[in-house]
Amino acid sequence: MTELPKKKSYFKPKELTCKCGCNRVEFDLGFLATLNAIREECDFSFPLSSAYRCPQHPIEARKEVTGAHCTGKAVDILASGEKALEIVRVALSHGIQRIGIQQKGSGRFIHLDGCTEDDGFPCPAMWSY
């Protein structure tokens, strides 16, 4: 279990915890620092719909290979329109090289992750859902 830092964070431990019921929080502290810096620069709040997911989380359990959320280096941010564009712009300036974009329908979000080829993920990468 990751001990989350005591210094100011825009994100509560509950937001970073797996939502499958296991209550595990194994969020990468370096990625959390980057996420806080992105939030600070954007200067608007952005709710997370997903952060850390354990391998037993229903979304991860359906996959052949677990995704970036299991590394603790990924979030899905509820955002659309101008705010989504600003999040992407600022994330790129902070070195984020993996971005997923879902901007149609009612469940619009931006996926940011800090994974690299060393984590087994193609990098850089941008995709749509």
Provide long-range contacts, Cβ within 8 A and 24+ apart, for 29-33. 29/2, 29/4, 29/5, 30/114, 31/72, 31/73, 31/74, 31/113, 31/114, 32/4, 32/5
pLDDT band at 111 (very low <50, low <70, confident <90, very high): very high
Per-residue pLDDT at 8: 73
Per-residue pLDDT at 54: 96
pLDDT in tens, 52-87: 999 999 999 999 999 999 999 999 999 999 999 999
pLDDT band at 103 (very low <50, low <70, confident <90, very high): very high
Per-residue pLDDT at 2: 55
C-alpha torsion 9→14→17→22, nearest 10: 160
Per-residue pLDDT at 5: 52
C-alpha torsion 117→108→44→50, nearest 10: -50
Token digits for 48? 């997370």
- 4: pLDDT strictly greater than 90: no
Mean pLDDT, the chain, as a whole number? Answer: 93
Is the bond leading into 124 cis (omega within 30 degrees of zero)? yes
**What angle in degrees, to the nearest 10, is found between the helix axes of 29-42 and 81-93?**
130
Q: Does the reported pTM lie above 0.85?
A: yes
Alpha-helical (H) ranges within 1-129 are: 13-16, 29-42, 58-61, 81-93
Token digits for 35? 């996420």
